Structure 1
Amino acid sequence: MLTDKIRNKENGIILYGITPPKVNHTEEEIRDIAKRHIDRISALDVDGLVLYDIQDESDRTDEKRPFPFIKTLNPCEYSKNYLQELNTPRIVYRAVGNYTPERFTAWLEDTKQSQVHSVFVGAASHEQQNNITLKEAYELKKEVNNNLCLGGIAIPERHTKKHDEHLRVFSKKNSSCEYFITQCVYDLHAAKTFLTDYAKYAKENNYDMVPIIFTLTPCGSSKTLDFMKWLGINVPNYLEEDLKESGDILHESVKLSRDIFEELYKFGLKKGIPVGCNIESVAIRKAEIEASIELLDEVKDIIKNNK
């Protein structure tokens, strides 16, 4: 069970992340996409399925968005109404500012029966208007369903600028977060620096370390790479040039992501940090979907070979 692995602070938790279909699809198209999701994920043997709650992050930056924003289905409704046949445990993201206190409370009541896991996501920028804040969402969770297995977001790249990501993690842990899923990682140095400070602070203050689950994303083109950077994913200049000059960005990004995870996993073992992996498959191109499964298999091998 995913809940047990999280609460036992186990190494090697493996997740697979997808984005629900766009709202502009017909009912027939949504059911067709759902069938493909069910068929693919059923064969993966992962600990959990991550379903993202996509926000328009245009307020976060003045740079033009490389791809237009199209709203997606609510991840909870997609999971409940279209993925019933799937036995894989779910982790549903909740962009909390999109919900009124009443709607959020009603959903929390539903989680008592559905046994989903969740990750609460705050505002993409200070300018964004929100119905409820992240702090208020944590308080509601404690009041309504404190047993909900809740995760938080960690952004290792932010640590190199503000040097306080480990403190944010422990603050969210005190608000009942039991695991953390990172933003997609291409900056190995930032991730290792974050882990170092996370482990040091835990040791100095006699705190338990909860699982840190690193997200990996295959990148299939220069335009996708530009979009990842627009989202705030830090791709070091030398890696960006290596990817663009490789002649096969997708293959090179899978190899790069695999190497990054292997180093982070071994580093976590050395520091006593439970490290896991979330492989995203947010693209619709067949080649990128296949690349995500290839990367998943390689991550499984890394975990198996380092027990």
Structure 2
Amino acid sequence: MLENKINNRKSGVLLYGLTPPKLHTDEYKIKVIADKQIERISALEIDGLVLYDIQDESSRNDQPRPFPFMETLSPDTYSTTYLKELKVPKIIYKSVGKYSVDELNAWINKYGKNIDYSVFVGTPSIRQKSNLSLNDAYHINENSVNSIKLGGVIIPERHYKKNDEHIRLFNKIDKGCHFFISQCVYNIDNTKNFLSDYYYSSLDNNRDLHPIIFTLTPCGSIKTMEFMEWLGIDIPKWLKNDLKHSKDILSKSIEICKSIAEELLDYCKDKNIPIGFNIESVSIRKAEIEASIELLIEVKLLMDKYQYSAIASE
């Protein structure tokens, strides 16, 4: 289903995103975590699993990080070694800036046949040293014998500041990207502004629209919200106030995420903009993980309502 929807630029992609365990976690504990995730995710009606490659993003933010940065297992290792039994397509994030040309080329040749899709990401900030640009990484993949099918990242907050995210997107399409996954969405206006420019630019320049998969994340505490803002996620003041003063911040955030999903589905349906959703938890707290599963089920019901079924037969 995922390949069909991406290749045919269809709406309805539903993904679940997670972060691999911490790098120095005991081997036995990693297997326990993986087994629980396999059991949980196997029960979900999704098109694919997103595995993140976590970077230290301190270079783009002068404020103290709300949670300490801890390096994780590489998503490709976690996927191929610990999640082999999970029979869903996997989308592997890859932070390319820390690799040389030869290193990235070797990685593509090693994993190209075993990875369904990859999303290349650059360094968090121009202040951070980078061995390889995102454009160089696209070029290396394009010319590799075992080239990987690629997706890209879109950031509505960047569009608010620079008003060129739709141009970046079309440039990435020209370099091999077939779909795009957003940063977590809490500001619907920033997101709709991006979609509007994306849509009308496609009409003006006779370009195909490729699927945009919007990330939704439950927020279960003030500290989680502070961390999300630290990462660059824009949470409008009114919404932040509602969350802070809610008797149940987690339930309130699920309600807000559902509202955002429905508004995006409604906006994109009339314009035939192909969209989908990626549900994640930025916290390892059990309550927030369970909330992400609840949100995914609710979003699937919304997509079914709009005839965007994640597993419907073509």
- TM-score, normalised to structure 2, is 0.95
Structure 1 moving runs of 4+ over 3 Å? none
CA distance in 1, matches of 2:8, 2:147: 15
Deviation at 1:145, TM superposition (A): 4.7
CA distance in 1, matches of 2:65, 2:40: 30
For 1:105-254, list aligned pairs within 5 A.
105-145=105-145, 148-254=148-254
Deviation at 1:247, TM superposition (A): 1.4
Are 2:112 and 2:146, in contact at CA under 8 Å, matched by a contact in 1? Answer: no
CA distance in 2, matches of 1:28, 1:92: 23
What per-residue deviation string (whole Å, max 9, x for no partner) do you get for residues 79-112 of structure 1?
0011111101000000001222222112211344
What per-residue deviation string (whole Å, max 9, x for no partner) do you get for residues 147-198 of structure 1?
5221110001111121111111111111111100000000000101100000
CA distance in 1, matches of 2:241, 2:15: 29
Are 2:123 and 2:130, in contact at CA under 8 Å, matched by a contact in 1? Answer: yes
Residue type of the partner of 1:93? Y
Are 2:108 and 2:146, in contact at CA under 8 Å, matched by a contact in 1? Answer: no
Residue type of the partner of 1:204? D
Are 1:3 and 1:149, in contact at CA under 8 Å, matched by a contact in 2? Answer: no
Secondary structure of 2:113's partner? helix
What per-residue deviation string (whole Å, max 9, x for no partner) do you get for residues 186-224 of structure 1?
000010110000000000000000000000000010000
CA RMSD of aligned residues (A): 1.1
CA distance in 2, matches of 1:178, 1:113: 18
- State the match for 1:272 in structure 2: 272
Given the alignment of the two structures, is residue 63 of structure 1 paired with residue 44 of structure 2, yes or no?
no
Count, aligned residues: 307
CA distance in 1, matches of 2:272, 2:306: 13
Distance 1:145 1:268, change over 3 A: farther
Are 1:218 and 1:254, in contact at CA under 8 Å, matched by a contact in 2? Answer: yes
Are 2:224 and 2:283, in contact at CA under 8 Å, matched by a contact in 1? Answer: no
Are 1:181 and 1:278, in contact at CA under 8 Å, matched by a contact in 2? Answer: yes
CA distance in 1, matches of 2:27, 2:282: 20
Residue type of the partner of 1:156? P
What per-residue deviation string (whole Å, max 9, x for no partner) do you get for residues 56-86 of structure 1?
0001111111110000000000100111111
The sequence identity of aligned pairs, in percent, is 52
Deviation at 1:117, TM superposition (A): 0.4
